[in-house]
Structure 1
Amino acid sequence: MNTPNRSDDPLEAGQGRTDRDAPAGTDMLGLINDCVHCGFCLPSCPTYVLWGEEMDSPRGRIHLMKQHAEGEPLSAPMVEHFDRCLGCMACVTSCPSGVQYDRLIEATRAEVQRDHPRTRRDRALREAIFAVFPYPRRLRMLRAPLRAYQRTGFDRLIRRSGLLERISPTLAAMERLAPPLGRAKRLPELIPAHGERRATVGMLTGCVQREFFPGVNAATARVLALEGCEVLIPKGQGCCGALSLHSGREEEAQAFARRAIEEFEHVDAIVVNAAGCGSAMKEYEKLLAGDPEWADRAAAVSAKTRDLAEYLEELGPRSVRHPLPVTVAYHDACHLAHAQGIRAQPRALLKGIPELTVKEIMEADVCCGSAGTYNLMQPEAARDLGDRKAANVTATEAELLVAANPGCTLQIATAMGARGERIAIAHTAEVLDASLRGVGRDAFLAGR
């Protein structure tokens, strides 16, 4: 499992940059023509909900895609409408015609990435984001200065001054979204099962999850072990490629995917606790379908990738659930509910905890505005969506918000703070961990 002296960047390590890296051809016009323009997608689309603009709906964007497929060059206004899409896939689940909008927007964004000349400022911002966020080691280097920045109170001063907003809305969004940081404890490569071993699983630790929410990974590993799983955590793992894949950076995503496949293909199941990451790994089969050397390996890894809630429901409970008398609001992460179709499993796990009450959030299918890098590249729209989600969370009067994606956690916590409100937030794994270990209600909420 160790990969000494391996570059953190799979492209630098020599994976990627070959002619065969192009994904399998997408029949754009065929997929586009599946759309019958019925409009069922409109109320599910976050940007249409915000602005009521046809070209900022899935139907409108598909119309633009058709114009381009028939020969109209990519223009700045056309690309702007594509950029404004969150890629939340709510339209996919609401479409009665089975339109594969997810494939359409990813293929379109890949073409934009290849062919559309962006402004120097836009290019610089995008390259800066993708030079840091998919690389855990680089994120780790930011921890110490960020902790110092937060502990001195300089963060509050900067926010009050509005300086970053004047320099760059993206930088201001990054600063607002940064979570309070404690010390990150590294997990061992092997965590034995408690009692008789039921399964051996590999665990993806992620990038933002690993560096900003290490407690979620620790809780995930403990829950799996308590349920009888031997947990393997490959030391050489890096980014799964989710951010790159969902932003049209195909070659980069393919390189990350190959590295992840090498790290995880030897395990029976791969458990993922971040919705965007799990969605991306389940797409490896499509991503590398055009590569004869990797296609079968990619398909095998996709087939054994499971979200944590999905896997635990399949496995079935073994350990005793202790009472946890708390009222929670469960947030559906888009890449869990829409991209993976996982809605019932997290709710079932939570409802299996004695004395815990689950409340539903209004407009549950409308994205919170995180969407990978969306809240950095489209901060105003993301802020409006975050405020909408925060208001709906507040309306539940729950004590705890449960979310299964680090981006959602950051986005909603920031939106709640902007409203002068606060709610305890936890991952599904952390709630289960508290119940399995018998952590009391007050002690659990105090750590949120």
Structure 2
Amino acid sequence: MSFPAFDAHHPPDKDLIDDCVHCGFCLPTCPTYVLFGEEMDSPRGRIYLMNKGLTEEPMNDQTVRHYDLCLGCMACVTACPSGVQYDKLIEATRGQVERRYERAPEDKAFREMIFQLFPYKKRLRLAAGPLRLYQRFGIGDKLRKSGVMSRIPARMRAMEALMPELQKEQKVPELTEPVGERRRRVGVLTGCVQQVFFSQVNSATVRVLAAEGCEVVAPKDQGCCGALSTHAGREEESLNFARKTIDTFEGLNLDNVVVNAAGCGSTMKEYGHLLRDDPEYAARAKAFSEKVRDVSEFIQEIGAVAERSPFAVTAAYHDACHLAHAQGIRKQPRQTLKQIPGMSVKEIREAEICCGSAGIYNMVEPEPAAELGERKANNILKTGAEMIVTSNPGCMLQIQASLKKMGHDGLPMAHPMEVLDASIRGESVETLLRR
């Protein structure tokens, strides 16, 4: 069976569409509706378009544009009183778009460039070498002062602005013994962007888990979990990454697989749904997903045993969308931080509104992403906090870029595990803030 806009392979589910009663509770939490005030750029508007695609209208440039502008932040899932599974609807729709819609050549080429680079650690490492030279010699600043940067396409400018300060990559041991009695044997996803650009987060995560009595396994041959591909509708690619991840961790006799990146964790918890059609992997994927935990979720689940040293600092905690909305994990990271003596955690106004990162969104949709980034940065600055703490590499890049653009690039940012690791190791606040 086919439909006006969709093929028969997992179109948006009519039963899920019918769950939406168009009440409008999602509107104040939807970033694009907040920005544009356009009904078709709200969750209920996009659901209306999905229904039209099932019953009346073929896919066209206008409907695809409304789908593309969705950040996939899932704030609407949290806000919805009817329990509408918008996450599954937009995921199915994006898969249809990628199969059935012909993008403009330059758009298609840019997206392909992203997916030929970011999910692959070896390729990212190759790119990191020239990028370090680019930063060392201040080439970006020279291009901006000369006016050349303003003539570069907006998407490439956005990529350049998001580039983190590249440091020497820290390698995680394949096996780390627990401190004291072994309480759990866990695997750790080291990721792609996380490992190449934020390897210090992985190192801190492993040290914290070991301090909490975990034997930590970090398989050397692990690759991308498929999150970026899943969120962009690249179904076959995402499923291949998922199968490889399951194969990598499955036979290691693990109690849990621990993840320190929000987008990765939310996708890995959905492997059972993503691979539901695969007779070889369906049951295995479901069993695997049941073992996946965000690192803050995991620490609160097993109970902290490592001694925390005082850490007198005021931090603003930013909710990564795929942690708070997609996984429903809000209190655990805050509990983890508040268990550190002297730590003060400030709440950010409009916490439910996305910062504009959203996987590849800030690269393919730089204008609305920049508006959301500035909005988030302003709300962070209003807290008066000394540092920002968040649980996703994309959020870190987006917020850092927004603050730098606004002239506030001196505000430190860290992952919860970096803060906790510093406390357990007895480091000074100043040492962490200088990183």
Bucket of the pairwise TM-score, normalised by the shorter protein: over 0.9
**2:309 paired with 1:332:** no
Match of 2:141 among 132, 144, 156: 156
Matches for 1:356-367 after TM superposition, within 5 Å: 356-367=343-354
TM-fit CA distance, 1:392: 0.2
Moved more, 31-40 or 381-390: 31-40
Once residues 119 and 167 of structure 1 are traced to their aligned partners in structure 2, the CA distance between those partners, rounded to angstroms, is: 19
**2:420 paired with 1:432:** yes
Match of 2:407 among 400, 417, 420: 420
AA at the equivalent of 1:105? I
Once residues 151 and 65 of structure 2 are traced to their aligned partners in structure 1, the CA distance between those partners, rounded to angstroms, is: 22
Match of 1:375 among 345, 359, 362: 362
Once residues 187 and 242 of structure 1 are traced to their aligned partners in structure 2, the CA distance between those partners, rounded to angstroms, is: 21
Q: 1:255 to 1:164 in 2, by over 3 A?
A: farther
Match of 1:170 among 129, 136, 155: 155
Q: 1:23 to 1:295 in 2, by over 3 A?
A: farther
Matches for 1:36-51 after TM superposition, within 5 Å: 36-51=21-36
TM-fit CA distance, 1:185: 2.0
Secondary structure of the residue aligned to 2:116 is helix
Once residues 205 and 119 of structure 2 are traced to their aligned partners in structure 1, the CA distance between those partners, rounded to angstroms, is: 21
Query: 1:349 is matched with which residue?
Result: 336
TM-fit CA distance, 1:170: 1.2
| Cα deviation code 1:255-289 (max 9, x no counterpart) | 00000000111322000000000000001000001
AA at the equivalent of 1:213? F
Secondary structure of the residue aligned to 2:345 is strand
Q: 1:120 to 1:164 in 2, by over 3 A?
A: farther
Query: 1:29 is matched with which residue?
Result: 14
Secondary structure of the residue aligned to 1:293 is coil
Contact 1:209/1:216 (<8 A) preserved: yes
Query: 2:172 is matched with which residue?
Result: 187
Contact 1:278/1:307 (<8 A) preserved: yes
AA at the equivalent of 1:274? A
Secondary structure of the residue aligned to 1:201 is strand
Match of 2:294 among 293, 303, 307: 307
**2:185 paired with 1:200:** yes
Secondary structure of the residue aligned to 2:119 is coil
Secondary structure of the residue aligned to 1:224 is helix
AA at the equivalent of 2:282? A
Matches for 1:17-416 after TM superposition, within 5 Å: 25=10, 28-266=13-251, 267-416=254-403
Once residues 26 and 289 of structure 1 are traced to their aligned partners in structure 2, the CA distance between those partners, rounded to angstroms, is: 15
AA at the equivalent of 1:65? M
Contact 2:357/2:398 (<8 A) preserved: yes
Query: 1:3 is matched with which residue?
Result: none
Secondary structure of the residue aligned to 1:357 is strand
TM-fit CA distance, 1:160: 3.4
TM-score, normalised to structure 2's length? 0.96
TM-fit CA distance, 1:161: 4.0
Contact 2:256/2:292 (<8 A) preserved: yes
| Cα deviation code 1:68-101 (max 9, x no counterpart) | 1113111001100100000000000100111110
TM-score, normalised to structure 1's length? 0.93
TM-fit CA distance, 1:162: 4.7
Query: 2:3 is matched with which residue?
Result: none
Contact 1:39/1:59 (<8 A) preserved: yes
TM-fit CA distance, 1:302: 0.4
TM-fit CA distance, 1:165: 4.4
Contact 1:199/1:230 (<8 A) preserved: yes
AA at the equivalent of 1:140? R
TM-fit CA distance, 1:157: 1.4
AA at the equivalent of 1:333? A
AA at the equivalent of 1:388? R
Once residues 60 and 39 of structure 1 are traced to their aligned partners in structure 2, the CA distance between those partners, rounded to angstroms, is: 10
Secondary structure of the residue aligned to 1:262 is helix
Number of aligned residues: 426
The percentage of counterpart residues that share the same residue type is: 58
Q: 1:363 to 1:411 in 2, by over 3 A?
A: same
Once residues 57 and 351 of structure 2 are traced to their aligned partners in structure 1, the CA distance between those partners, rounded to angstroms, is: 37
Contact 2:11/2:93 (<8 A) preserved: no
Contact 1:330/1:403 (<8 A) preserved: yes
Secondary structure of the residue aligned to 1:306 is strand
Once residues 295 and 343 of structure 2 are traced to their aligned partners in structure 1, the CA distance between those partners, rounded to angstroms, is: 19
AA at the equivalent of 2:161? R
Contact 1:28/1:69 (<8 A) preserved: no
Once residues 185 and 388 of structure 1 are traced to their aligned partners in structure 2, the CA distance between those partners, rounded to angstroms, is: 33
Query: 1:446 is matched with which residue?
Result: 434
Contact 1:23/1:288 (<8 A) preserved: no
Once residues 235 and 293 of structure 2 are traced to their aligned partners in structure 1, the CA distance between those partners, rounded to angstroms, is: 23
Root-mean-square deviation (CA, aligned residues, Å) is 1.3
Runs (5+) with no aligned partner, structure 2? 1-6
Contact 2:95/2:234 (<8 A) preserved: yes
TM-fit CA distance, 1:163: 3.3
AA at the equivalent of 1:218? S
Q: 1:217 to 1:60 in 2, by over 3 A?
A: same
Once residues 59 and 13 of structure 2 are traced to their aligned partners in structure 1, the CA distance between those partners, rounded to angstroms, is: 15
TM-fit CA distance, 1:168: 1.6
AA at the equivalent of 2:48? H
